Amino acid sequence: MIASATTSSAPSQDVAGVDEKVRLKKELRLFEAVSVIVGLIVGTAFLTFLNCWNMKVTKKIQDVFLITKLTALVVVIVSGLAYMFSGHYENFDDPFKGSATSPAKVAVSFYQGMFAYTGFNYLNYMIEEVKDPYVNLPRAIYISMPLVTCLYVLANIAYLAVLSPEEMLASSAIAVGIMSLCYLSTSDVYRLIDYSAFVESSFICMSVTALLYFRYKIPDAKRPVKVPTILPICFLAMCLFLVVFPVFERWQEVLAAILITGFGVPVYFTFVWWQTKPAWLANFSRLITTKAQKLFLSIPQEDYDEEEDKMKNEEAPKER
């Protein structure tokens, strides 16, 4: 009976041990997620304070981060290429083995690449802070994009020289980023990327559609930056491909992204579209708008005068 009791209790002890490991693993992941979020909040608040306090200090910190990231990438690239050139080419014998050819899967795969390469899109947000932006902004784009592309492609080659595609997919990844604050329902980094990439592609698609509409309806409007119409048409076609086809492959992520974005619709209709709202609500909206404009130095858009802009840029060095 003693032997029987000992034997029967062994499985229950094993199950209890597994449950304890699972619980500890979940608690550890929760602690890691909370630590990352707290670190992001504190770091963002600190960098925002520095940006408001002294731009020179902020610029130096950005330079340090840039040099650190480039140094890390160069170390990875050199190490991986050295390993590959020492005779380890086995991971490149059939690199596309098992790849999917479905258009929907191809569209979703673009999301992962966009997450890495879409930094050029944010250069447009700093156009008001750049001297002679219509010369320097395109220059920044066509210098940075090839540089980043070369670095990332070489880094991926270095990774694949050491790890097989299966090993790379099996490696653990912690989903970090500001979007984690909004999408805490999942810890899958690829799903988080799908959320943000679909929303970004959708808004870009609508923006380019509006651009083509105004190009057709107001053909003679003053446009400081003008490109051949064929370029936005091709860009719109690519955006539609990235918006439509993922619906068939990742409909749950697409639906979640639409619902999250849709929460802004009631806010728009309440505070912007609704013109006959109660006085207390209108005063509250006006107060928030005014405070935000003062805090972020927001002003209404003015008509662009190319000659006046050139004169300002020419006089700026003389004043200094």
- Tens digit of each residue's pLDDT (9 = 90 or more) over 211-239: 889 888 888 888 777 788 898 899 888 88
- How far apart CA 81 and CA 75 sit, in angstroms, is 10
The pLDDT value given to residue 238: 86
When pLDDT is cut at 50, 70 and 90, the band that residue 319 belongs to is very low
The pLDDT value given to residue 276: 86
Q: Which of 208, 196, 200, 217 is nearest to 235 (CA)?
A: 208
Residues 210, 238 contacting (CB under 8 angstroms): no
Instruction: Dihedral sign for Cα 80, 83, 86, 87, please.
Output: negative
Instruction: Dihedral sign for Cα 10, 13, 19, 22, please.
Output: negative
When pLDDT is cut at 50, 70 and 90, the band that residue 250 belongs to is confident
- Of the ranges 55-64, 282-291, 300-309, the best mean pLDDT one: 282-291
Average pLDDT of the segment spanning 82-93? 83
The pLDDT value given to residue 298: 66
